[in-house]
């Protein structure tokens, strides 16, 4: 039963993708239904397997027979995977829902004709499938396979509009994340060469020095995927993608794959040398700082959100590193941050999408006073901003707080130093984001704002659901998170 639901969860979006290609202009209902069913399956799976670790290996890889005789493809549903599923699947569904209204010829920024629907929903649903597959991967091999699939889909989706810049951005994203994947592959090869196993737990069998090496390779891969310094530059450019795609790929799902890899690697408790983990923490702090420094010059709303995403992925990696240094609370906070940030940032991206949908622009300087004509969007944006910047009682406060308290648990002065650093960053980014929110939504309306109105129902519904999620996410995530590292 469980395994069949899992298979359904994985197969449905693929089927939806194929259907979309066939239905072309009428792809929307099919996409919507398959995404919804897959989400339902994912949610059911997490609830049904709550509190336990469910592993089911189903398939062999034919050409590996003789070297590994056990099945290497299957499902792993543990609390960590559950959290990832709860991010990947529902936000995927919401993205599809939002896209049904966003990707129309009524869109003022990028009118899309119905003949492109097939292509769009194909890649989007394939991405959902690969993300779901990645979340339930039981070993590095499957993880890598889906990892690469997400990269591929992301390339296609970023370049969806097929303009010069979007093609370039898609290629850049593909190139940079793919170079990272090379390191991932290298790590897997070393692992497999030494232990003849792809399992996460095989890391524990490696000798100490090599384990550190593999860890660093994985770390580089994760950096590339999660857009961390020094390979962060593809993410802001990837904002050329349609906004729902940015919301899903570049806030909730794909970039989270990178941090999910690190969470997987470090949550098993195979002690990695403190130096490498400190490197991870240090780079996370550097990333946060670098991303912050780019806030102040952005005029494109989505690019601003992209930099904020980079910083928040830095938070997650920081939390994971804190976990790696021995404070489980930090790891839990980081995992909670995956879900909290996923929903909050998706809210913001969707709002940006709504704004560009009705006004035709994403330029912060040409937007003002939108709250007057689109109160719901304004509310959602404020909720999103306050949530992302960690204002209690909204979602990210909880996860940030857990990361901070995890850091505080570390012995020595490092904990308080991290906390002070993070709090300073929080204040600055909070101030700036609030300032931007005020600038866009409050004030006397400019011409662009006067014609605006709250968008179609599908978009509004998405925003309302996400607003609720911005409050509820920690309460959903907390029960799962507290099982991690036990």
Partner 1 sequence: MTTAVRNIEASIVILIAGSLVSLLFARWRKLCGWVSFAIVCASSVCTGLAVVRTFAAASDERTILSLPQLGSRLSLRIDPLSAIFLAIVAVIALLSALYSVRYMEHYAHDSVAKFFPILLLCIASMTGVLVCTDFLFFLIFWESMTLTSYFLVTFETENAASQRAGLKYFIITHGATLCMVAAALLVWRTSGSFAFDAIRQSLSALLVAQPLLAHTIIFLFFLGFATKAGVLPMGDWLPDAHPVAPSGMSAILSGALVKLGIYGLLRVFCSFVVAPASLKGWGIVLALAGTGSLFVGTLTALRQTDTKRLMAFHTIGQIGYICLGLGVGTYCLGTHPALATIALAGTILHAINHACFKSCLFLGAGSVLYRTGNRDMDQLGGLAHSMPFTTGTTAIASLSIAGVPPLNGFASKWLIIAACLLTGMRFPLFLLLGLIALFISLATLASFLKVLASVFLGKADESRAVEEVPISMIVPQVTLAALCVLLGIFPQLVLRFVGRAIEGVTAMPLTGVGAPGMWSGLQIIDGSAVGFWSPIAILAALAVLALLSYAIQRAGGAQSRSVPVWYCGEEHTPSTVRYPASSLYLPFKHAFQGIYPSGRIPVPRFPASLRRALDFDRWLYTPSVKAIDRTADRVSRTHVGIPQIYLLWIVIGAIVVTGILLWLRT
Binding interface with partner 1 (CB under 8 A): 175-176, 229-233, 290, 293-294, 296-297, 329, 332, 369, 371-372, 375, 382, 386, 391-393, 397, 401-402, 404-405, 408-409, 415-416, 419-420, 423, 426-427, 430-431, 434-435, 438, 441-445, 478, 482
Decide: helix, strand or coil at residue 230. coil
Q: How far apart are CA 75 and CA 382, in angstroms?
A: 38
Q: Which helix (H) or strand (E) holds 74?
A: strand 73-77
Decide: helix, strand or coil at residue 392. coil
CB 183 within 8 A of CB 217: yes
Closer residue to partner 1 in complex, CB, 54/382:
382
- Residue 296, Cβ density class (10 Å: 0-12 exposed, 13-18 middle, ≥19 buried): exposed
CB of 153 to partner 1, least distance (A): 23
Decide: helix, strand or coil at residue 59. strand
Q: How far apart are CA 277 and CA 317, in angstroms?
A: 10
CB of 234 to partner 1, least distance (A): 9
CB of 470 to partner 1, least distance (A): 12
CB of 294 to partner 1, least distance (A): 7
Length of the chain: 486
CB of 250 to partner 1, least distance (A): 17
Closer residue to partner 1 in complex, CB, 301/371:
371
Query: 123, 131, 50: which is closest to 91 by C-alpha?
Result: 131
Closer residue to partner 1 in complex, CB, 94/229:
229
Closer residue to partner 1 in complex, CB, 152/376:
376
Give the pair of three-digit tokens for residue 188. 């897997």
Q: Which residues pair with 77 in a beta bridge?
A: 54
* DSSP, residue by residue, 329-349: HHHHHHHHHHHHHHHHHHHHH
Q: How far apart are CA 154 and CA 130, in angstroms?
A: 11
CB of 151 to partner 1, least distance (A): 17
* Secondary structure letter of residue 251 according to DSSP: I
- C-beta atoms surrounding 105 within 10 Å: 9
Query: 2, 6, 33, 41: which is closest to 17 by C-alpha?
Result: 33
CB of 420 to partner 1, least distance (A): 7
Phi, psi (deg, nearest 5) at residue 199? -60, 150
Closer residue to partner 1 in complex, CB, 161/294:
294
Query: 102, 132, 157: which is closest to 350 by C-alpha?
Result: 102
CB of 185 to partner 1, least distance (A): 20
CB of 129 to partner 1, least distance (A): 31
Q: How far apart are CA 37 and CA 32, in angstroms?
A: 9
Q: How far apart are CA 199 and CA 36, in angstroms?
A: 31
Closer residue to partner 1 in complex, CB, 1/413:
413
* Secondary structure letter of residue 253 according to DSSP: S
Closer residue to partner 1 in complex, CB, 210/419:
419
CB of 277 to partner 1, least distance (A): 20
CB of 319 to partner 1, least distance (A): 14
Decide: helix, strand or coil at residue 37. helix
Closer residue to partner 1 in complex, CB, 48/179:
179
Closer residue to partner 1 in complex, CB, 82/95:
82
Closer residue to partner 1 in complex, CB, 221/231:
231
Residue with tokens 């003022």: 108
Closer residue to partner 1 in complex, CB, 100/429:
429
Give the pair of three-digit tokens for residue 170. 């898609």
């Amino acid at each position: 039963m469980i395994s069949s639901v899992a298979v359904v969860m994985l197969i449905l979006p693929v089927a939806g993708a194929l259907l979309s290609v066939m239905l072309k202009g009428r792809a929307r209902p099919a996409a919507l239904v398959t995404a919804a069913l897959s989400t339902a399956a994912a949610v059911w799976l997490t609830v049904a397997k709550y509190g336990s670790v469910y592993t089911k290996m189903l398939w062999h890889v034919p050409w590996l027979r003789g070297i590994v005789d056990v099945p290497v493809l299957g499902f792993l549903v543990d609390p960590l995977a559950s959290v990832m599923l709860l991010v990947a699947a529902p936000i995927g569904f919401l993205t599809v829902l939002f896209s049904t209204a966003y990707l129309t010829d009524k869109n003022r920024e990028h009118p899309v004709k119905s003949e492109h629907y097939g292509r769009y929903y194909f890649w989007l649903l394939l991405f959902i499938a690969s993300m779901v597959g990645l979340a339930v991967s039981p070993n590095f091999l499957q993880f890598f396979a889906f990892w690469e699939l997400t990269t591929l889909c992301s390339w296609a989706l970023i370049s969806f509009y097929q303009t010069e810049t979007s093609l370039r951005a898609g290629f850049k994203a593909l190139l940079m994340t793919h170079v990272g994947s090379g390191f991932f592959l290298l790590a897997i090869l070393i692992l497999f060469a030494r232990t003849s196993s792809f399992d996460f737990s095989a890391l524990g069998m490696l000798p100490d020095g090599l384990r550190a090496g593999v860890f660093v390779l994985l770390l580089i891969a994760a950096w590339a995927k999660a857009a961390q310094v020094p390979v962060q530059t593809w993410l802001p450019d990837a904002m050329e993608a349609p906004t729902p795609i940015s919301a899903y790929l570049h806030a909730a799902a794909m970039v989270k794959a990178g941090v999910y890899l690190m969470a997987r690697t470090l949550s098993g408790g195979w002690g990695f040398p403190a130096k490498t983990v400190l490197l991870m923490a240090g780079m996370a702090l550097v990333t946060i700082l670098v991303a912050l420094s780019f806030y102040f010059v952005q005029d494109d709303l989505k690019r601003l959100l992209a930099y904020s995403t980079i910083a928040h992925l830095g938070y997650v990696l920081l939390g994971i590193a804190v976990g790696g240094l021995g404070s489980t609370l930090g790891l839990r906070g980081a995992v909670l941050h995956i879900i909290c940030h996923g929903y909050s940032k998706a809210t913001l991206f969707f709002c940006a999408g709504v704004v560009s949908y009705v006004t035709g622009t994403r330029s912060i300087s040409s937007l003002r006073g939108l709250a007057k004509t689109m109160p719901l969007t304004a509310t959602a944006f404020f909720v999103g901003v306050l949530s992302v910047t960690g204002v209690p009682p909204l979602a990210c406060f909880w996860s940030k707080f857990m990361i901070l308290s995890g850091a505080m648990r570390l012995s020595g002065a490092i904990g308080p130093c991290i906390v002070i650093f993070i709090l300073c960053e929080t204040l600055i980014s909070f101030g700036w984001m609030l300032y931007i929110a005020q600038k866009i939504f409050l004030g006397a309306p400019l011409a662009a704002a006067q014609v605006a109105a709250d968008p179609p129902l599908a978009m509004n519904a998405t925003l309302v659901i996400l607003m609720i999620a911005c409050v509820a996410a920690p309460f959903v995530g907390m029960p799962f998170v507290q099982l991690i590292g036990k």
